[in-house]
């Protein structure tokens, strides 16, 4: 076990290394930041798509709209027709008033006030049909579209399919970028440590002469790498935290409609995973980058 | 019978060499011997000069004693341990028991006098409290108490060497190795350093000094090992500087 004073000394020397080596340290932190920022965005997208798709499968079914001026008995008849289908697990009637009430919750007071007592969604009464097997959705939609009095059938799979495709592309591109950036970050940290060692060559050789242990000689450089990794992961995490709020808010405002609410994971759920994973990645890259370089560089010094 | 046996073994113990070179050769380049089959003993508490012309192998001997390099053949023992056999962690432990001083001082230029001496203790993980106590004491021994805040570049060569000496001695080494400690100093400063080394030796530390300074060697009348082209040409118990004729 190292002494407290040694730990203190190593920390101090590590910070000193970073300051002395400002250009490389900044470049390393910058690359690390970019890398983990991308990782964060990648994680946001993947996690949310998975969440949305899961939601879609379990809760969002098929929405059935009626022709204008349809009678109540006709609506009941359509309901009965839906009920006969085996793939339907549940269906629910939502009146135009309910639809409007639901949507109101997402609007500001002023926005609602502009409509007065009118229901701007008066043609929006519909059935929501939940399936017990999403793969049967196409067949069901075909069946429902042919029913008398049905104006439009919205299914969610189309959307989900596009999402899954985008998701995959985003995944591949991000993974490739992240791997490249991890490589660059490791390289830069390695360069930082290499310069640090060459600057301190004399000091290290004196340390060796006096009888410093390997641990004592390495510790400041490990501290340097780990600090760069920590800073390089905390900065993007901070950015991502602030950004996530804003983007979710924006997407919800812009793209929500009364029939389909976009549900996103909340910040705390996302960060419960993203925070430790990013931090571990940053520290891991920093540690490995300096550790691997040290062995090679220190052997050159007598 | 039994008693006399123990007595002689005690004597042997006392006489046991701290440094022992046993048929040591060193080839930096294959086939060229920088050191050629050297054997000698240095006993505890001795003061030994190593002299000889440039390139005769003096620094090579010191480097082998420090375990900076290994002999190509033969063995070097210090305090009964064969240095070639030390493992990495044992080397750092071993070096803590010796002090080293060089011609070019090898101070850290970004640190003041106090921190240079403190550094040596930091390296071997001396508690901070002890460092605060030991450093001023060591600096006053070498006569630099006043200058503890100065940086190396603000000091004369003699003062810098005294800082280096304080650094080498602060951890109480049992052996002090000095490779031309006065090589860059004027006569007055050279004598000051030599007096300090003599004082250290008087307190029980074994001292090995490589030097070109003939006057000092002649006046001090210590043991002198003379090297020439990698061969030891003389080893005088109490002597002066021998001129090796080419
Ligand atoms: N690292 C090395 N590689 C190759 N040859 C070396 C090396 N170090 C020393 N030598 C050679 O070994 C021989 C002895 O060198 P050494 O440094 O021991 O001499 P020295 O007696 O200390 O000389 P000086 O008085 O000039 O310091 C010299 O011929 C030198 O050229
Ligand atoms: Mg030499």
pLDDT tens sequence across B113-158: 999 999 999 988 899 899 999 999 999 999 999 999 999 999 999 9
| Together in a domain, A16 and A114 | no
3-state secondary structure chain B: CHHHHHHHHHHHHHHCEEEEEEEEEECCECCECCEEEEEEEEECCCEEEEEECCCCCHHHHHHHHHCCCCCCEEEEEECCEEHHHCCHHHHHHHHCCEEEEECCCCCCCCCCHHHHHHHHHHHCCCCHHHHHHHHHHHHHHCCCHHHCCCCHHHCCHHHHHHHHHHHHHCCCCCEEEEECCCCCCCHHHHHHHHHHHHHHHHCCCEEEEECCCHHHHHHHCCEEEEEECCEEEEEECCCCCCCCCC
Question: Which CATH number do you get for residue A89?
Answer: 3.30.70.3040
Mean pLDDT of A199-221: 89
Q: Rounded to two decimals, what is the model's pTM?
A: 0.70
pLDDT given for residue B3 in this prediction: 40
| Together in a domain, A68 and A52 | no
Q: Using alpha carbons, select from A215, A224, A62, A225 the residue that is nearest to residue A137.
A: A62
Residue where a domain terminates, one of A94, A126, A155: A155
| Together in a domain, A113 and A195 | no
HSE-up of B106 (CA within 13 Å, CB side)? 25
- Domains of chain B (ranges; CATH) run 44-68+88-236 (3.40.50.300)
- Cβ within 8 Å, pair B125-A207: no
* Closest Cα to atom 26 of ligand 1: B54
Series of mean pLDDT values for 10-residue runs along chain B (246 residues): 43 70 96 95 96 95 95 95 92 92 90 94 90 94 93 94 94 94 91 93 95 93 95 88 60
What token pair was written down for A279?
Answer: 């931090």
Residue where a domain terminates, one of A98, A126, A155: A155
Q: Which domain holds residue A33?
A: 4-56+162-298
Chain B residues in contact with A214 by the CB 8 A cut-off are: 88-89, 92
pLDDT given for residue A247 in this prediction: 87
| Together in a domain, A14 and A78 | no
- Indicate whether A147 pLDDT > 50: yes
What token pair was written down for A240?
Answer: 């991502």
pLDDT given for residue B4 in this prediction: 41
Q: Does A5 touch chain B (CB under 8 A)?
A: yes
- Indicate whether A134 pLDDT > 70: no
Q: Does B108 touch chain A (CB under 8 A)?
A: yes
| Together in a domain, A37 and A168 | yes
- In terms of Cβ atoms closer than 10 Å to its own Cβ (0-12, 13-18, 19+), residue A83 is exposed
pLDDT given for residue A153 in this prediction: 83
* Closest Cα to atom 11 of ligand 1: B34
Q: What is the pLDDT of residues A272-299, one digit of tens each?
A: 999 999 999 999 999 999 999 998 888 8
Which ligand has the shortest distance to the CA of B63? 1
Cα angle vertex A50, ends A141, A143, to 5°? Answer: 5
User: A191 C-alpha to center of ligand 2: Å?
Assistant: 34
pLDDT given for residue A252 in this prediction: 79
Mean pLDDT of A229-252: 91
B95 CA: distance to closest CA in chain A (Å): 5
pLDDT given for residue A22 in this prediction: 87
Q: Does B94 touch chain A (CB under 8 A)?
A: yes
| Together in a domain, A96 and A238 | no
Which position has the higher pLDDT, A60 or B175? B175
What mean pLDDT value characterizes chain A?
Answer: 83
Chain B residues in contact with A209 by the CB 8 A cut-off are: 66, 68, 95, 100, 106
| Together in a domain, A140 and A195 | no
| Together in a domain, A31 and A13 | yes
Q: What is the pLDDT of residues A71-120, one digit of tens each?
A: 888 888 988 988 888 888 888 888 888 888 887 777 777 777 777 777 77
| Together in a domain, A141 and A238 | no
Mean pLDDT of A51-71: 75
pLDDT given for residue A238 in this prediction: 95
**Pocket perturbation via mutation, ligand 1, pick of B30, B59, B70, B184 by most ligand atoms within 8 A of CB:** B59
Residue where a domain terminates, one of A155, A172, A199: A155
What is the torsional sign of CA B89, B90, B96, B98?
A: negative
| Together in a domain, A171 and A34 | yes
Confidence band for A172, pLDDT divided at 50, 70 and 90: confident
Q: Does B125 touch chain A (CB under 8 A)?
A: yes
C-alpha distances (whole Å) from B96 to each of B18, B54, B89 are: 15, 29, 11
Number of domains observed in the structure of chain A: 2
| Together in a domain, A218 and A288 | yes
pLDDT given for residue A155 in this prediction: 72
């Amino acid at each position: 076990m190292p002494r407290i004073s040694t730990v203190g000394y190593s920390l101090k020397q590590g910070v000193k290394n970073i300051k002395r080596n400002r250009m490389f340290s900044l470049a390393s932190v910058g690359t690390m930041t970019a890398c983990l920022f991308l990782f964060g965005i990648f994680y946001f997208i993947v996690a949310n798509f998975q969440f949305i798709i899961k939601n879609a499968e379990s809760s969002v079914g098929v929405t059935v709209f009626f022709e204008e001026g349809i009678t109540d008995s006709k609506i009941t008849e359509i309901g009965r027709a839906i009920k006969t289908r085996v793939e339907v697990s549940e269906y629910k009637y939502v009146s135009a008033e309910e639809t409007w009430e639901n949507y109101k919750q997402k609007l500001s007071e002023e926005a609602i006030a502009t409509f007065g007592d009118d229901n701007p969604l008066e043609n929006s009464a519909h059935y929501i049909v939940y399936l017990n097997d999403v793969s049967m959705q196409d067949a069901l939609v075909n069946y429902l579209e042919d029913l008398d009095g049905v104006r439009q059938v919205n299914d969610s799979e189309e959307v989900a399919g596009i999402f899954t495709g985008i998701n995959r592309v985003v995944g591949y591109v991000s993974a490739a970028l992240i791997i490249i950036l991890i490589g660059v970050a490791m390289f830069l940290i390695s360069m930082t440590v290499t310069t640090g060692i060459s600057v301190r060559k004399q000091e290290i050789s004196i340390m060796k002469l006096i009888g410093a242990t390997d641990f004592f000689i390495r510790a400041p450089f490990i501290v340097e790498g780990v600090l760069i990794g920590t800073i390089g992961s905390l900065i993007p995490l901070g950015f991502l935290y602030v950004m996530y709020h804003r983007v979710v808010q924006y997407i919800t405002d812009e793209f929500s409609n009364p029939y389909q609410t976009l549900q996103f994971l909340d910040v705390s759920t996302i960060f419960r995973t993203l925070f430790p994973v990013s931090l571990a990645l940053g520290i891991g890259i920093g540690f490995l980058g300096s550790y691997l370089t040290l062995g090679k560089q220190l052997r050159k010094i007598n | 019978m039994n008693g006399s046996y123990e007595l002689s073994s005690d004597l042997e113990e006392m006489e046991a060499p701290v440094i022992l070179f046993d048929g040591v050769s060193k080839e930096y380049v294959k086939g060229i011997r920088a050191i050629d089959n050297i054997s000698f003993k240095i006993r505890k508490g001795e003061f030994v000069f190593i002299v000889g012309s440039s390139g005769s192998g003096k620094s090579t001997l010191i480097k082998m004693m420090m375990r900076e390099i290994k002999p190509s053949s033969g063995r070097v023992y210090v305090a009964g341990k064969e240095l070639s056999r030390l493992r990495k962690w044992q080397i750092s432990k071993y070096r803590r028991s010796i002090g080293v001083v060089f011609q070019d001082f090898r101070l850290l230029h970004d640190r003041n006098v106090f921190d240079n001496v403190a550094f040596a203790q930091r390296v071997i993980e001396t508690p901070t409290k002890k460092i605060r106590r030991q450093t001023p004491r060591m600096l006053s021994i070498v006569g630099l108490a006043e200058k503890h805040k100065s940086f190396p570049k603000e000091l004369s060569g003699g003062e810098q060497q005294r800082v280096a000496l304080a650094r080498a001695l602060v951890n109480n080494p049992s052996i002090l190795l000095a490779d031309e400690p006065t090589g860059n100093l004027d006569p007055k400063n050279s004598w000051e350093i030599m007096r300090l080394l003599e004082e250290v030796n008087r307190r029980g530390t074994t001292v090995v000094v490589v030097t070109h300074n003939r006057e000092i060697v002649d006046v001090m009348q210590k043991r002198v090992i003379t090297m020439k082209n990698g061969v030891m040409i003389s080893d005088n118990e109490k002597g002066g500087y021998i001129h090796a004729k080419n």
